[in-house]
Amino acid sequence: MFAMLLLVACVSVPSPGPGWHPHGLPGKASTAYRWTTKDGLGAWHAVAHRSASLMRRLLPADQATPSRVQFSWWVDELIATADIRQPESDDASVRVIFAFDGDRSKLSMRNRMLSEMAQALTGEPMPYATLVYAWDGRAPLDEVVVSQRSDRIRTLVVESGQGHLKQWRHYQRDLTADFRRAFGEEPGRLVGMAVMTDADNTGSQAEAWYGDIHLR
């Protein structure tokens, strides 16, 4: 019995923390996510096969918006044909996503329509603003990419090219400063965060691991 208990203790996986749930996208096959370990670290393991979905955590309304964030990821291979600047090839092996609330009366007519469509399809409106950190094989490091679907979704390229594959990459970001740079305004309340590995637009496959996200 002691040997069995010792074995269980040795193979137990640290918890990712409460509140994480898969979140599908209308009309898309779902990426598979499971909590495991990678090189000794607890991690979400994501496997995409022509799919796109999120593993996300909604934040309580009374939680203060953090100014800094720490996250990490591991990628073995990038998607060869992906380019987040082009709608037809907008896939990424790794994305870490932060959704913010704000004054929705400032949204353009197009974004209001997109938000209403999201509400009808998913039961939730589109976030007021979404800041994404991503690794892309083609877009330059530190570039801010405005989504052609909605200018309320903006991606900051924090890793570019093939140079750091097959290893843990750790990041500390000033979330407030990055939001200001991307959107040119002050961030509202942080309402959610997510990880996303997608390979639907390129019809390809992707695999990645995400360490836990720490808000400061």
Q: How many domains does the chain have?
A: 1
**pLDDT computed for residue 58 by the predictor:** 96
Residue 72, helix vs strand vs coil: strand
Percent of the chain residues topping a pLDDT of 70: 94
2 pLDDT more than 50: no
> H or E element: which one contains 11?
helix 2-11
Q: Considering the domain boundaries, does residue 151 fall inside one?
A: yes
Find the CATH number of the domain harbouring 203.
Answer: 2.60.120
Q: Convert the pLDDT of each residue in 112-134 to its tens digit.
A: 999 999 999 999 999 999 999 99
CB 183 within 8 A of CB 34: no
71 pLDDT more than 90: yes
Q: Considering the domain boundaries, does residue 76 fall inside one?
A: yes
Q: Considering the domain boundaries, does residue 192 fall inside one?
A: yes
Q: Considering the domain boundaries, does residue 177 fall inside one?
A: yes
CB 15 within 8 A of CB 37: no
pLDDT confidence band for 64 (50 / 70 / 90)? confident
**pLDDT computed for residue 28 by the predictor:** 98
**DSSP assignment letter at 166:** S
Q: Angle CA(61)–CA(66)–CA(71) in degrees, nearest 5? A: 115
Q: Considering the domain boundaries, does residue 40 fall inside one?
A: yes
Q: Considering the domain boundaries, does residue 6 fall inside one?
A: no
173 pLDDT more than 50: yes
Q: Considering the domain boundaries, does residue 12 fall inside one?
A: no
Q: What is the pTM of this model?
A: 0.92
| Closest to 174 (Cα-Cα) out of 93, 84, 98, 62 | 98
**pLDDT computed for residue 14 by the predictor:** 66
Integer Cα distance of 34 and 73 in angstroms: 14
On the CB side of 30, how many CA atoms lie within 13 Å of its CA?
Answer: 10
Q: Considering the domain boundaries, does residue 110 fall inside one?
A: yes
Average pLDDT, the chain: 93
Phi, psi torsion values for 213, nearest 5 degrees: -100, 130
| Closest to 156 (Cα-Cα) out of 137, 177, 130, 182 | 182
Q: In terms of residue numbers, what domain contains 38?
A: 17-215
For residue 4, the Cα-to-chain-centroid distance in whole angstroms is 38
